[in-house]
Amino acid sequence: MPPPVTPLEQSKDDQDDLVFLEEHPAAPVSTGARNVWRVMIIDDDEDVHSTTTFALGNLDMQHRPLEFVHAYSAGQARELLKHEPEIAVILLDVVMEQDDAGLHLVRYIRETLKLHDVRIILRTGQPGYAPEIDAIRDFDINDYKTKSELTRIKLFTTVTAAIRSYEQIRKINDSRRGLNQIVHASTQLMTLHGVQNFAAGVLSQIGDLLGCEANGVLCVQECPDDGCHELMVMATAGTFRHLSNITLTVREDQRIHEALELALAQRRNVYGPDFITLYFAGKASRDFVAFLEVKKAPTEIDERLLEVFCSNVAVGLDNVELVTHLHNAAFYDQLSKLPNRTRLVEILDATIAGPARDDATLSLVDLDHFAETNDALGHQFGDMLLIAVAGRLQTELGDRVTVARIGGDIFCVLGDSTQVNPGNILALFQRAFSIDGQDVQLSATLGLVRLNEHEGSGADALKDADIALKRAKSQQRAGHFYFSRSMGVEIRERVRMMHALRTAFGQNQLFVVYQPQIDLATRRPVGAEALLRWQTPDGKFISPDRFIPIAEYSGLIIDLGEWVMRTACRELVDLRKAGHHDFMMSINVSQVQFRHPLFLDMLKRALEDTGAPPQHIELEITESMAMEEPDLLIKMLGQIKQTGVSIAIDDFGTGFSSLSYLQRLQIDRLKIDRAFVTEITGSARGSSIAEMVIQLGRNLGLAVIAEGVEDERQAQILQSLGCPLAQGFLFARPMTATALTGWLSNDALEGAA
């Protein structure tokens, strides 16, 4: 057998064969500071170092020369690899200090140093020795050759293949790292609030992506229907901070302006030798563009990563603008640009939690009769008037006062009590507001809260101010009222009673009583009025004057009223079974209940479910209810009358009814209010109103009944005036259903006797 051929003993044919290994030129990829491929030779034989260097030293691979790093033992290689950067290929002798020193070094390279990109080619000069297959597989070894196999051409081929592999791995890893950085950058950017902060973050992230200092500017160009505006600087970084918050023109910086205009015109990124210009396509005719200085031109991978980054940022800029728009819509009034109710509550919470609370006052400012101005002069004029009021409040109360708009014509002022007080605020309305050449005189009513006297959150303070405002409006327009602790106690008591009323209704603490109605001529009962009562578990009675209004405010009156109606209908059926066939049952109907859209259905279902005869059911509505929305009431009464139920007007004489209107109502009976019954024995003219109501009823063909009759003299006067019916303590107090049945039975027995 001929002796092994060394790398120096190549034939001329082998050298000529190298010509066929040339490839088409490829763009160099920068893998380090120097544009070379670094090859480390690790071998304890100095001749191997010299022959390898001689064989490969003058050759270019992928248009780069080779640079060699030498180690003569595994130990020396360990030390070198800790500090030597960008090693592309390692030519490693398997057998050095020990038979497996090379394999131990491979383990150290991959597992300890975490060098996964470098390609490793194992060489051995001992024929028959081969590393374990597991080692080749587990430690990512690129190739394994005996030294006798590595002729110059084969050595070149093996190293070239390894370098190509290294280059591809580096590209993949660079791309992966870049993409990971883009994902991280996108996440970081989305934590920034506001377009300006986001834009500044974009410049910083571009610098990190390219591994250089961020020196640049980011601009926006808006293109409305009338043409593009100038480039508005949104953010700057590094040496370009002097361009902040300006309109960028050629005069400001010709080089930057021309580069940005080129990117906008071509709608793409533009790369120069010492700068990059990035284009971010926006929505709604808004485009963003950034200019950054760089020390070296970006690589192909850098350009591709920047394109991905720009796509993400373009979406991010649109999203941030959308979020900013939504934030403004959520927290600021779109007409006046003042904080709205939501934002004001946040400001109030912060004020209450801080030291400013001790001297702060909150005031609601309600423009008097603004709706009439709006109707008379139009909503556009009204909007201009609101803007003028907002401007005057802001300008003349000072920068330290917060002005908000929380409703159509309601503003809010928050600040130190020396500035926020009735004198200062109402004085602003003494001068007319000039709107579209017209002088408009306004007045305002104030509801105020001193925060050092307030307990609760910002939302609670706003509610207290609203309570004070309502009190002020009920007393005097163009005036003011301060919220007091006693008002708070009163409101809390109402809320407590509302909850207690709901609980009482659910636990059957409410019940119905019946007050008999009497024929004055015969003194025989002809009917009864159903009345709601509330007795607490401790035996106390809550007055209807207290809990009925709360039931109406809370809406509970709908369920309560239906329950009373059904209970009274069932009682009427029971009385008829007991032989009282001509008995009339009167049921009070609240205004809230009467105006409920399903009231008529409730009435029909109650009659159908209980079997109560409609002709013996009477609904009582107050005179004040009859005076509101007459056309709607007339229609509703007509529908009720179709069921066979009759209608009575309660408290007649207290509401100043129009007699012409009264004629149009389909009613059956008038009830004289107890106040007029009391007066008939008080003076010579005391019976005049009662007499008038009785005569009116007779003329209109209506029945009349007097309520609140407490003594015999009142009964006799009413009878002499022609009043046929009455109810009151003189005849019977309100009683339970069981008591009513017994009372009627006793009355029947007395009549028979």
**What CA–CA distance (Å, rounded) separates 106 from 87?**
14
Mean pLDDT value across residues 685-693: 79
**pLDDT at residue 47 above 90?**
no
Report the predicted TM-score, pTM, of the whole model to 2 decimal places: 0.50
What is the tens place of the pLDDT at every residue in 441-488? 899 999 999 998 888 899 999 988 998 998 888 887 778 999 887 776
**Model confidence at 173, in pLDDT bands (50, 70, 90)?**
low
Q: And the tokens for 338?
A: 């003042």
pLDDT tier for residue 666 given thresholds of 50, 70 and 90:
confident
Would you state the pLDDT for residue 114? 85
Of 245 and 276, which is predicted with more confidence? 276
Is beta strand 119-124 parallel, antiparallel or unpaired with respect to 87-93?
parallel
**Topology given in CATH for the domain delimited by 192-331:** Beta-Lactamase (3.30.450)
**Cα dihedral sign, 725-731-735-737:** negative
H or E element: which one contains 289?
A: strand 286-293
Q: What percentage of residues in the chain have a pLDDT greater than 90? A: 36
Could you tell me the CATH superfamily of domain 341-483? Answer: Reverse transcriptase/Diguanylate cyclase domain (3.30.70.270)
Task: Specify burial of residue 87 (Cβ count, 10 A radius: 0-12, 13-18, 19+).
Answer: buried
Taking domain 497-745, whether its CATH number is 1.10.10.10 is answered by no
pLDDT class of 218 with cuts at 50, 70, 90? confident
How far does the chain reach from its first CA to its final CA, in angstroms?
154
- Give the model's pLDDT for residue 20: 31
So where are the chain's domains?
37-173, 192-331, 341-483, 497-745
Question: What is the per-residue pLDDT across 91-124, written as a single tens digit (0 to 9) for each?
Answer: 988 878 777 788 888 888 888 888 888 888 888 7
Check residue 668 and give its pLDDT.
Answer: 92
pLDDT, position 658: 59
Q: Across residues 235-261, what is the average pLDDT?
A: 79
Other residues' Cβ atoms within 10 Å of the Cβ of residue 94 = 23
- 140-157 mean pLDDT: 77
DSSP state of 110: I
Interval 265-275 mean pLDDT: 87
Domain 37-173 has CATH 3.40.50.2300: yes
Tell me the average pLDDT of the chain. Answer: 82
pLDDT above 70: percentage of residues in the chain: 82
Q: Cβ distance 338 to 238 under 8 Å?
A: no
Question: Rounded to an integer, what is the distance from CA 389 to the centroid of its chain?
Answer: 28
Judge whether residue 132 has pLDDT over 70: no
Q: pLDDT tens digits for 700-742?
A: 899 999 999 999 999 999 999 999 999 999 999 999 999 999 9
Q: What are the phi and psi torsion angles at 118 (to 5°)?
A: -60, 140
> Lowest-pLDDT range, 306-320, 342-356, 494-508, 716-730?
306-320
> How far apart, in whole angstroms, are the C-alpha atoms of residue 150 and residue 161?
14
CA–CA gap between residue 245 and residue 235 (Å, rounded): 8
pLDDT tens digits, one per residue of 644-661: 999 998 877 665 455 666
| pLDDT for position 654 | 61
Task: Identify the residue whose tokens are 């002097």.
Answer: 242
Quote the pLDDT of residue 2: 35
284, pLDDT greater than 60: no
Least confidently predicted of 137-151, 296-310, 396-410, 680-694: 137-151
pLDDT of residue 186: 53
Higher per-residue confidence, 18 vs 748: 748
**In degrees, to the nearest 5, what angle opens at C-alpha 45 toward C-alphas 44 and 48?**
125
**70-79, 227-236, 423-432, 687-696: least confident range:** 227-236
pLDDT digits (tens, 9 = 90+) for 546-604: 999 889 888 899 999 999 999 999 999 999 999 999 999 999 998 888 888 899 999 99
pLDDT of residue 557: 93
Q: CA–CA separation, 102 vs 107, rounded Å?
A: 9
366 has a pLDDT exceeding 70: yes
